[in-house]
Amino acid sequence: MFSVWILCVGLALTLVSNLIYDIWFHPLREYPGPRYAAASRIWYSLHVFRGHHKNAIKRLHDEFGLVVRIAPNELSYIDPRAWEDIYGRSAHENRTAALEKELDFFETAFNNSDSLVDANSRDFKSQKNNATRAFSNGSLLRRSPTMATYIDRSIELLRTYLSDKQVSTIDIDPWIGNIVLDTHAKLTISQDFGAVELGPIPHTLVTNMHRAVTTIQYCTQLQYLPHALKFLTKLMPSRDIFTVLGKIPPLGTAIAKRIAKEHDESVSQDFVSHMIQDSEADVRNIATVRSNATVFVLSAVETLPGFICSILYYLLETPEYYKAASNELRSRFGSSAEITLQSTQQLEYLGACMREGLRASPPAVGTLTRRIPPQGAEVCGRFVPGGVTVGIHNWSVTHSERFWTHPERFRPERWTGDGDYADDLRSVFNPFGVGPRTCVARHLVLLEATLIVAKLLFAFDMTLDPKNCGDWPVHKGHFVPTRGSLFIGLKPHLSEKSASTPA
């Protein structure tokens, strides 16, 4: 009994001494921020668990400025200079190297998979060279027919569903999620999962991905427990993305079969083929290829449908925006077949809507954290000690009144030269990051999302169902938003209905 009492007292003294050090003696003590954030990460984790993290960090930036100490050993930035200082090629080592990713989050989420998501800079560079070929604008444009196939099939099934069920209102989210899953699977491993054929029923991989991301966001917070309580993390089973999803039969089996067909010419144009072309052993490592294939298939399943639904919501919420986007499509194209990845790039107004959607409801709302090297580094003109976690909080950047006029409003005209938004600081808008670790799939995300939105707007007359709450796009979430159902009224557009009806 006495030994237990001694242990409790020792633990309490350790926690108190850490608190005193973090508030009054820590190297970051001079940085602005609330005392409770300097003392402990508990407040931060609570907001993550409640799904209010993004708004909580924004409020701190609104109050304390361009840099805020949000945890004992973490600084959050919205200073435009931080993009290059944190993510650029010359962030440290005499301005010759980029900062490495912060390990606590990525090790928990990806279990040291050495994939494109969590590999160190050296391994990432060799993998990126192959991935860049797969995700180049030219390579993706050649895959336009593949992407269109799944969208067109889903629209066909939607028309049938509306007619057979005698309904006019649907939840569009599962339909879009299934399109994205089948498209990415086909592009990655030359095989789809039949998700589009499920219509309004989300494929099991879509629902499991949502649960996995939510679970991982929670589990990452355990890595920030006080050292005296770190042993608790050892008691939990592994919750990394590959353990949770990689063994699910439709995915794990399909990826294994594709890798086994390494030299099959019939699948020579998919993403996996690009990842196994290099002769270097570390790139050809089967485990790494398998991990990257999992990332490619599932990376957009959780984020892209939410982004597309946000665009539809914003357009339908303001009828004049919906009308302008629809009219642009219907005045330019005579049929859905004319809407391709190439042709949608010429749509000025819809392009402005997509960019504004990335700002108003970004697919990633959190922070891509980086770790300052042991020797320290300069960020925004101020020295930051080694070992500190730093990053730009995306939601705060895209919703700060310092940079945007009426940032809470969806306004496509801020991207079309409207004088009311001439003072917007567009240089802070980097939805896919900057520097050597810029998202390799950035072209795919925007091209695919634009194609899906364009074909839906062309095929249907739409209205926003009243059952959607007024603040639908203001999702909960930590790193990625947690989306809900989006109910919209659909009616096949007259010209499309006539075109699909036999004479």
Q: Which amino acid is at 256?
A: A
Pick the closest to residue 356 from 299, 403, 426 (CA basis).
Answer: 426
Report domain extents, the chain: 132-364+431-493
CA trace torsion 277, 278, 280, 284 (10° rounding): -30
* The two structure tokens encoding residue 401: 């009144």
CB contact at 8 A, 219 and 108? yes
Pick the closest to residue 336 from 182, 445, 452, 449 (CA basis).
Answer: 452
pTM assigned to the model: 0.91
Q: Coil, helix or strand for 209?
A: helix
Q: Which residues, given as ranges, of the chain have pLDDT below 70?
A: 1-2, 4, 7, 9-11, 13, 90-97, 104-114, 224-249, 263-268, 277-284, 468-478, 495-503
CATH topology of domain 132-364+431-493: Cytochrome p450 (1.10.630)
- Give pLDDT, residue 502: 37
CA distance 435 to 61: 24
DSSP structural state of residue 230: G
Q: Which residues are known binding-site members?
A: 439
> What residues does 392 pair with on adjacent strands?
77
- Give pLDDT, residue 279: 41
Question: How buried is residue 65: exposed, middle or buried, by Cβ count under 10 Å (0-12/13-18/19+)?
Answer: middle
Count of CA atoms in the C-beta half-sphere (13 A) of 270: 26
Note the pLDDT tens digit of each residue in 368-402: 899 999 999 999 999 999 999 999 999 999 999 99
- Give pLDDT, residue 472: 67
Q: Which residues are known binding-site members for heme?
A: 439
